[in-house]
Structure formats: structure tokens, C-alpha cells
Amino acid sequence: MTCAACAGRIERKLNKLDGVTATVNFATEKATVAYPDDLDVDTLVATVQTAGYTATPPQPAKPSTVDDEDPGERVEELKARFVIAALLGLPVVLLSMVPALQFPFWQWAALALTSPVVLVCGWPFHRTAAVNLRHGATTMDTLVSMGVAVAYLWSVYALVWGGAGMPGMVHEFSLLPRESTTADIYLEVAAGVTVFLLLGRWLEARSKRHSGAALRALLALGAKDVAVLEDGRERRVPVESLAVGTRFVVRPGEKVATDGVVEEGTSALDRSMLTGESVPAEVGPGAQVAGGTVNAGGRLVVRATRVGADTQLAQMARLVEQAQAGKAQVQRLADRVSAVFVPVVLLIAAGTLAFWLLWGAGASFALTASVAVLVIACPCALGLATPTALLVGTGRGAQLGILVKGPEVLESTRRVDTIVLDKTGTVTTGVMTLAGAVPAEGFDRAELLRLAGAVEAASEHPIARAIAEGARAEAGELPAVTEFGNNEGLGVQGQVAGRAVLVGRPRLLAERGVELPAELAGAVREAEAAGRTVVAAAVDGAAAGLLMVSDTVKPTSAEAVRRLRELGLRPVLLTGDNATVAAAVAAEVGIPAEDVIAEVLPADKVAAVRRLQAQGRVVAMVGDGVNDAPALAAADLGLSLGTGTDVAIEAGDLTLVRGDLRVAADAIRLSRRTLGTIKGNLFWAFAYNVAGLPLAAAGVLNPMLAGAAMAFSSVFVVTNSLRLRKFRSWAE
């Protein structure tokens, strides 16, 4: 493909097939196609070929390797064409511009130099135009090819039959089209336009290569081979042969081959390439590690838990590719314009030619003006405006640990005015610890911990795990539990050593008719005032005591809340904890009490988001747990922490690979800046065409200058997009 019109043509052809939905991306040169089961990929490829293009099905993703096609090959080919065209074409331009250099029969030398420029270096333009013409289509190359061919063929005619080939012919150069006779030649236009367009294509291809560099770097992060541990001996094998459960060794300085759990050794892992974190993270037995991270310390033995396309690195690459393949709403408008733009320009060029001929300006002037219209109008910049900004923005986001699910997400970030923050695991560390225990009269502390810990050990809830671990540490091995039951969001119950044990919120005990004694009720108020979560326990229908757990606020959360406010967002704290605990956490991070929604059951988080939306707010939600997934999906914009569950990540629109809440502010800021860049690109691309066409049609623009302006409009758009590579995270 050579322009947005090519992409639009392929897209329309594919979408005409029954049940097919296709999106073609000009910048990434990829099509994303959804098709029914009764259609095969060969049919899709054949459809692309009937449109005059080529296509190959994608190969299975291998996170350890980059794409087979080297984008540098096309860059080098264009560079070679440009260099040859410049060496041959610039003397033609100089001869045509400076009468003092015009020796006898210089015009024939100019023809000899121009012919390989037009016919060899510029061959891709003419070949593509011919292929599209054979299929009844027009693209940017149609305009370029027609403009160059008209200037070249007119010059050949003038040299052979029009008197321009006579010795002593002098050529005066003007920045405006010349009012002249059939003795005039326009070889400098044919050569100059070809040179400028090849320069533009080369710079554009280089820029596009830089645009996709972040994704290629991400794909190249994976290790190539790995030392597998078998019967105590190491054996190096290709990383593709790893299976779930395989144990492998990671030495200092090596990359972790795939996602896994550390079984032996302690070290520090450099995760900057995946999460943007500059400080290595300490890991030891039981720690989760991601493929692609670098072992900065000691020797580790890791057991593989995810391999191939299931790894975090592969998922990140897939999300980035999906985002780059999509189209924002603003791009769809540009596509509609590009689809009709070339035929309209051909009509304007024909109208310009007819007008100046009827006006009596002469065939030479009329042809030059119409050539300028053809050259200036190429909608190349329109096709690059959105994809290049998306390429760079999403690639830079991946480097910072921000994964955008699709370009439509960018539109949402602009409208969001309220951001709902889940407390546990988002604002706080999410690592609960047992901070205290108050037994009721008739129970001792060890018995309270043993009975309550036994029931909580059967639950996966973070608070339950904290109590169970604290109980084991203090009371030793916990007895078995039978008849276990879970009261979602409220607590758990079960039989321990023949005794009925109920553990949960004080509200759950009250609903079951268990009343807390005055001293325990007072202890509840004191603990909640200190920001601790209180869990009450009852044994055989009587209050047995209280267990206090605490969760510390992340050190970066207060700064993150401040940054979100600077972006014009109103932070709201959402939690299932009681109001006192929630207020203490909110006060610590700078959220006012009126923006705290507490004691919300998991099922009610969606309702809380809906209530805010009903008030006219556009809501973003940040969460990390399974119980956050419905709320993330219900919000106008869902931001899921990658440290959380796969379900939450799948439900979110933006995934934050690390658990630093400041990255949420970075994600919104980067998304808004990317959208702003897209709109800026489209404005300049439209403005350039709108301003240039009338000037060309009015006969006040030399075709060679029109070619230079068209080429550099594309370069400007891509260069403007590349500025996103300099985006800096607040967390850096």
C-alpha cells in the first residue's frame, strides 16, 4: 500500500464479503479481519489480490522473535532510489533554473538524465497507478504518476516536435507556471517532483520504522534459549521448547525465559523494560516472575507457569498490536474523505486544464497548472495522521507499562471527569496483615485465633488470608474445617472441632442474632478510628472476639491523587470497608469525605459507578481484583492494574502493568496527548490540502514546489507523531 486510499480500497473489498468485518491500517500495513467459520483465510488473501495488492496470513506470535519482514529493507530501497534520483535529477533542475549553465543541446542532456529518474527511480509510482487503474481504482500514486508523466511526455513532445530541441534554446525559470509555447519543456518538474516524492517516501518510511520500534523492542525482549534443570543437571534448549511445569535456571545477567514462580534462590529483577520501573525488585522463593525481565543478582531456579502466547510479554505485545491496528473515530472521518478525494482531485485537475485553455492562457500554462493540482493534492498526510501517532503513543505507553486496548479509548480519556479508585490493592498495598486480636470474656487469644483462623484458611479473600497467616504464626497448625460456607462480601462460616464458627463483619453477626458485648463494641470503634478493618468472630452463637487487620497506603498514592486532580479529574474512593476505615485512608491520600463510597459489596460496585454516571459524570474506574471486573466494564473508561487478576485486565480499557497509581495519571495524560497529536496531524493535513489546491488551480504554484510541499507535509505529520517518544512518566 502506498497511501490511505489503498487501505480504504482493500478495506471496502474485504467488507463486501458476507459476515466479514475488516480494518486495514496503512501505517502498520496490516489488516485485522473478523470472518465466519465457513470462510477460509485463502479467500481473504485472494480478495486482497483481486484489489491489486498482496497479502500473507499472520504467523503464530513468538514473543522471543521479531517479525520476519525487516522494515529496514524498504527503507534502504527507497533511500537508494532517492539517492540515484537526486544525483541525476538535481543537475536537471539546476540547468533549467540557471540560464548561464545552459550549454548548446543542454535540453537533450536533461532528457537523458531525467528519463532514468522518471522511468526507473519513479517506477513504483507508475506501477502502482497502473495496477489500480486495471482494477478501476485511483490512489495517491495515480495523481503522482499522472502529474510526472504529463510533464515528462509534454517535454518529449516539445523536444521532438515542438521546437524545443533546437540548439541555443534558452529556458527561463519561474516559481509560477509559465505562459509560453510548445517550445517549452518541463523536465525539471518531472525530475524534481520525483526526487521530492522519493525523499518524502524515504523519510516517511524511516519515521514509520521508528514509530514501530517500541513494539519491535518489546517483541525482542524474550530470551532465545534457556538452561533447563533435569535431574540436577542443566541443559540449554530453545525457549520455544519450554512447557508449563518445566524448571529452569536464570543466572545473573540472563533474561527470565518465561513467566514462572521462583523455587530456589534470591535476587533482584530489572523489570524496567516491561513496567518502566527503574528500581530492580527483590524476589525469592514463591515470587512470581515475568519472562523478559533481567536477573540483576543471584542464581534463580524458576518453575514455568505460562509459556508462549500466554506469557505477560506476549499478552502485552498482543494488546499493543491490537491498539495499533484499530481506528479512532477521527481517523474514520479522514478515511471517508480519502476515499473520494482522489476522484475529486482528478475532476479539479481536468477542470483546471479546461478553464485555462478556454481562458486562452495557452496549453503549456494550462497543463502546468493541472499538473500542480495533481501533485499538491495527494492525501498521503491524511492517511498517516492517525496511525503514526497511535504507533508512537501506544509504543511509548508499552515502554512505561501502559497498555491501551484500542484507539477508541483515547476518545474516552478526553471526556472523563471523575475517577473511581478501588481502595484495596489500588490505593493501598492490598497486603493485609493481622494487627491485633481482642478475645471476649471466656475465650483466650490462642483459642480465638485457632478457631477463626481455621475457617478463614478456607477462603481466598485477602483479609481471610491475613488472619489465617497471623493465626498460624501465633497458634501453630490450624485444625480442619467442615461445612464451610461463604457469605459474599460479609464473611465465612464452618465447623471446627465440632464447634460452629462464624467470622466476618460485625454486621454479619448482628444479622445472625449475635450481639457484641459493650467492651468489644468499644474496641471496634477504636480500631476503626485508627484505620483498621475489624473482623468479628462468634463460636456456637456467642461473640468470641475481634480480629483487626490493616492495609498500608502505597507511598505514591497521595501524589497520584494530586496528579489526577491536576488533570481535571475528581477522585472518588470506593471500598467494601466500613466508613471509618475508608475515611482514614481517604484523608491520608487527600480525598475529601464527601467523595468516599464505603461499605459497598462487590455486586454493588457497578451500581455505585452507575449512580455517578446518572449524575451526569463521565466515570473512569481503577481496580485490580475479580470483583472489580464488572465495575471496570461498566465505567466509561476502565483502568486495570496489571498486578491484579487476568479477569480485571481483560475488563479494563487501559492496563497498567505495575501497581503504581501514578501510572493511571500517566495513562490518561499519554492518551490525551496522543489524541491531541492525532487531531493536530489531521488539522495540518486537511489545511495543507485546502490551502494548496486553490493556489495550484489558480496557476500560482510551480509543480516542483507543489511536489516538495506534498512530500514534506507527510514528513511533518510523521515527525510530529514522533514527538510522543519524548513523553515522560511522572513516576520516572
- The residues assigned a catalytic role are 422
Give Rg (Cα) of the chain.
34
Within 10 angstroms of residue 412's Cβ, the number of other Cβ atoms is 20
The three three-digit cell numbers of residue 655, written as one number: 492496563
Long-range Cβ contact pairs of 275-284 (< 8 A, separation 24 or more):
275/401, 275/642, 275/657, 275/658, 276/399, 276/400, 276/401, 276/657, 276/658, 276/663, 276/729, 276/731, 276/732, 277/401, 277/658, 277/660, 278/732
Cβ pair 615, 595 in contact under 8 A = no
Give the separation between CA 291 and CA 302, rounded to whole angstroms.
Answer: 11
Q: How far is CA 422 from the centre of its chain?
A: 24
Classify the phi-psi angles of 531: left when phi > 0, otherwise alpha if psi is within -120 to 50, otherwise beta.
Answer: left
Which H/E stretch holds residue 293? none
Residue 136 CB contacts under 8 Å (≥ 6 apart), including other chains: none
Residue type, 222: G
Question: Which three cell numbers, joined as nine digits, stand for 23?
Answer: 480494518
Helix (H, G, I), strand (E, B) or coil at 243: coil
What are the counts of helices (DSSP H) followed by strands (DSSP E) for the chain? 25, 24
| Cα three-residue angle 664-666-669, rounded to 5 degrees | 110
- Whether the Cβ atoms of residue 423 and residue 44 lie closer than 8 Å to each other: no
Alpha-carbon gap, residue 182 to 155, rounded angstroms: 9
Please compute, for residue 474, the number of CA atoms within 13 A of its CA located in the half-sphere on the CB side. Answer: 22
Side chain identity at 401, as an amino acid letter?
A: G
Closest alpha carbon to 5 in 105, 111, 115, 138: 138
At 422, the amino acid letter reads D
Can you read off the three cell numbers belonging to residue 377?
A: 493534492
Question: Which secondary-structure segment (H or E) carries 723?
Answer: none
Please calculate the CA angle 235-240-241 and round it to the nearest 5 degrees.
50
* Cα–Cα dist 133/136, whole Å: 5
Task: Give the CA diameter of the chain.
Answer: 121
Q: Which residues pair with residue 403 across a beta bridge?
A: 655
- The residue behind cell 494548496 is 692
Which residues lie across from 717 on neighbouring strands? Answer: none
CA-to-CA distance for 653 and 343, rounded, in angstroms?
38
C-alpha cell at 453: 483462623
